Chain A
């Protein structure tokens, strides 16, 4: 680790109304694993997009191996030796693995040679892949392998990874880290973006911390605690969630042998899901994205009806009821997709309250909308949940992700549900807002409501849930009390009962040797 591979100085990029990067500078040594830390909107993504040539900086200079570096487009970046694995995978579901890899290369060899090289490289790095499979049929972890192998085939000097572990099980994270360490030992530098502070402490040699588009510090992550890192990101301290004592009461929601065909082309089917939710309980449902989370929320909320006698709400059959009928009986939900599913982007916050609020709140009069009441309810949500916005007349799309999420959760919580189901309540939300959302869910349960939290963030589930189930390929495991549950056990639950993940893990050491 001598010398400098990438040196960035005074990089600035402004968008209308916001300076995404303001005089950012740092450097990365060959073989270094360097973390970029920062909350949402701190400018991490813009920064790496400039390094990868997707965005042109307004000012500032970059140097790569001592030479000026101004990539006009990703092609130029790849030619120089910079590769990137994207946060939202840049893959094509209807194409096979080899075709996907070929699309990410400048001069791909003929398909047959490429397939052989994919096999060879993917095994050498412990990421076995079959080049002929359709990407749409792969799991999230396997899809990421495709992205990584695509980068590795080009022999990069610098590998940029944007939130690579957000969709992986703990075991898959372990495999990924082994691969990254091997790469680093071979001299490839890695620029690693993540929210997950423990991972950064385990993996990274150095870190640059961004806040509001500026570099506010750098550190060696191993020497700091996760809490210190979080406070450097936020620029202040924030409250820890109080768990409080809860005693589960009578069952409020019972699901029996619920099956559902896939809702989309590559989506999973739900298979014989059973669960019981008690009053005052928070049930955490973990799982890697695309294992049936959306489908489960859709059937429980009433968007998709299920077979008779599969959903029983407060002792009454509710399988055939639509969302509004379920709302009337006390079951509310907040889907994962904030813009477009939980809220209409072009409508004001006031209008958005009407979407779910008219059943349980007196927001209509004789069939007409009572705008005054709707506005008052919107203002109440904004106040109670500290939504940062000029007022309820603002369109939903104008809010940042975290603020809109607080608004969406607040809208449901303030309707005093008996059962609340949320999917990914803090996805892409900064640490402070996430803490307040979690606190609201805990408080709701303490008041006697049953809450189901579907999330990919295991730390979050460990923090707030009483019981934990894993969703894998549309099957839900039996619940386990969170207390005393280790991350390893959870990882195995997330990988399914068939023991597939364990088998893969046993193969890894040989493949790495």
Chain B
């Protein structure tokens, strides 16, 4: 199906791949922020995940081990952030920014020997006859396993936050850490776990960029995807379902502008490249403004340091 020189089926199929890194990172950050910690280091965790995943995959020859390595590296970065902000009570904003700068520098250093190398390919999930269904087959059943994993994770996070006891405790810690502490919950342990989970997903998202989406290693290749993930969490009013919408919107416009470029439209390349960032933010701002609960949805203890002194 072709509209205005653009193949819609390819577009939608591309959209899911283009969205996955941001979706993973935003889902992770959602969990971290729900626990009351603002980690601005998503970009840093993503890029370290990208380089670590790439290195692990190239060295072992296994993309699965690569993704595991990316997630571990992201979680390690998050653990560093958690140690600084939760144990040593450093300022969360400053520490998060430092984590991003640190991640960008570290990844450039580690990644030098891997420039120009091709990673082992990740195959599509074999759905058999399902992938032969016209249109739907290509849109839904022609992807690699990480795309499906990311969707499963969004659903799992949504269900956990809404229905499970663990999710209730996580929300409670993010709402009022003093009260949670008074009731006997381990605020710092909960936040450590939430941050580590967030870091692992950011790392996974980074690894997806370098192993599947691009696929190669270049310095600074996350190009602000981590920041977009942060913005999506805020404008999605801390809800998993809207995070999915925000991420797919970003991915969709990214895919669209690539197609527009390929179709030879006379729009300046810079405007097209800029479009996903601008439009995602504009749409999400409008959505959260229409939905007046936007600001109120923030976890009440977000960004506040906790110390069990009283």
Contacts and interface: CB of A to CB of B under 8 A. Distances in A.
Interface of A: 53-54, 73-75, 78, 86, 88-95, 99, 102-104, 108, 265
Contacts of A90: 176, 178-180, 182-183
Interface string B132-158: 000000000000000000000000000
Interface string B179-190: 110111100000
Contacts of B175: 92-95
Select the residue from A78, A89, A90 with max chain B CB neighbours within 10 A.
A90
Contact of A103 (B168, B178, B295, B296): B168
Contacts of B176: 90-93
A93 B179 CA distance: 11
B184 A94 contact: no
B182 A54 contact: yes
A89 B171 contact: no
A102 B165 contact: yes
Query: Chain B binding site: helix, strand, loop or mixed by DSSP?
Result: helix
B296 A265 contact: yes
B183 A103 contact: yes
12 contacts: A53-B184, A74-B184, A89-B179, A90-B176, A90-B178, A92-B171, A92-B172, A94-B175, A94-B299, A99-B168, A103-B168, A103-B180
B172 A103 contact: yes
B169 interface: yes
Contacts of A88: 178
B260 interface: no
A169 to B, nearest CB: 24
A104 B183 contact: yes
A108 B184 contact: no
Given A73-B184, A74-B184, A91 B179 contact: yes
Contacts, number: 53
A402 B246 CA distance: 51
A103 B300 contact: no
Contacts of A91: 176, 179
B171 to A, nearest CB: 7
Nearest to A91: B179
Given A94-B300, A108-B165, A265-B296, A74 B171 contact: no
B188 to A, nearest CB: 14
Nearest to A92: B175
Interface string B96-107: 000000000000
A456 to B, nearest CB: 21
Interface in B176-213: 176, 178-180, 182-185
A74 B165 contact: no
Contacts of A99: 168, 172
Contacts of A265: 295-296
Contacts of A78: 184
A146 B262 CA distance: 61
Contacts of B299: 94
B165 A95 contact: no
Interface in B257-304: 295-296, 299-300
B184 A92 contact: no
B183 A95 contact: no
A103 B182 contact: no
B18 to A, nearest CB: 34
Contacts of A103: 168-169, 172, 180, 183, 185
Given A73-B184, A74-B184, A265-B296, A92 B165 contact: no
Which 4 A-B residue pairs are closest in the complex by CB-CB distance?
Answer: A74-B184, A90-B179, A92-B175, A90-B182
Contacts of B169: 103
